[in-house]
Structure 1
Amino acid sequence: MLVNSSTRTAVSALVSATSVVAVSDGITSKSAAVTSGPVEGAKSSGFGSLLAPTTAGNLLNLITEMPSSDNSAKSLTPRQWLAHSMTLAANSPEELPQARQPNYYSQADLDTIKAVTGYNLVVMNGATAVVDDQGNLPSPDIAKKVSLLAATIEGNRAAGAFTGEVTLAYLDDVFAQFTAAKEPLPSEWLDNALHYLQGTNGPSNAA
């Protein structure tokens, strides 16, 4: 395989749930070591500190559902809470995470995760949310698997396990490592990756 033993170590750590902490109805935050240095070929763009898949137009329309009153977070529905969080992130003066900072994802990372899993990973103000195009949360099991896949990509990139964008060869290795860790990801996700990445990526650049 093209990904070295650091990937296996990272997957084992993720499966043990030591690096992903669920908070507030599907919003997650993640702690990780911050190092310096660019990641060649992996770019991020967004509004303020909000980044979402390019196919998440319907999801971003949820911002219009944000309550006009200053309701407490406890009184908001999950969709309103998400809309509120996205609005704050879009208007934030803070920039999106940069390469090798926690929760750094390229635009292509989020597009790939969406194409592979069918769910949006939304990055906002240092947190992430896993939702469908209507802002609904997936089942806890699916949310966990999407978050684990996303955190593996983010962690491997931060550790320098690969450069450029995610490739099929890289994902094939990641799926194999989750299977070995007895936390297999849905097999249809790898089929989705095959169909999607064959049309978006060139030769593998995994290290």
Structure 2
Amino acid sequence: MCTHCGFCLETCPTYTVLRNEVHSPRGRIEAIRAGIDSPAFDTCMYCRLCETACPAGVRYGEIIIPYRKPNVKESIVNKVLENPKSLTSFLRIAKNLNIEEAKRFKEFTEGLEISEPLENDEKEYDIILFPGCMESVLARKTVEKAYRFLSKFFKVRIVNGCCGFSRFSTGDVEGARKLALKLKDKVGNKPVITLQSNCASFMKDYQSYFGINIEAYDFA
């Protein structure tokens, strides 16, 4: 239970920028308690840094998710993230568009090389390398280095795609569950090494959220 100590405030990205407690973990929890449909539910970055600072151990992420609903733009982005090849094309097109949303993508990808995702078709393998949706197209050289390193010790299969975290963080729990099931079908019972810490963390939570077990590790 939230004790209103305020330790979470300075860990919250939206609060540190806006300096408005409505857009803080404590403010959002208060809105839920009061039955208010607050616009702040959707400004949450779902980084869950607040949980690391909370002395009461409040699981803020579990509290906020039922009150978040994806908007049209988020739904489109989530769909694109699920297919790395579509994401590659989308980012290349976005770089040449002169609209506000595209400008944000251009700023985000400044200095990064947009590439086709690295793939292999290993039939026999010991572990799965799961680069993560953005890493697969914006950090291919890193993916290649990770693949070469892991291949010194294991037979490695590369699986690209989305773990479902993006859908889950915007409130689309059912969409995230479907992606989790799809990923489980691909990886089976093999250990999964991912280059994205958010992916590793979310996969470890599959069991509690969806009853799906994946042995996931963050490469770092």
- For Structure 1 versus Structure 2, the TM-score category normalised by the shorter chain is under 0.3
**Structure 1 length-normalised TM:** 0.25
If each structure's helix is expressed as a fraction of its own residues, which one has the higher value?
2
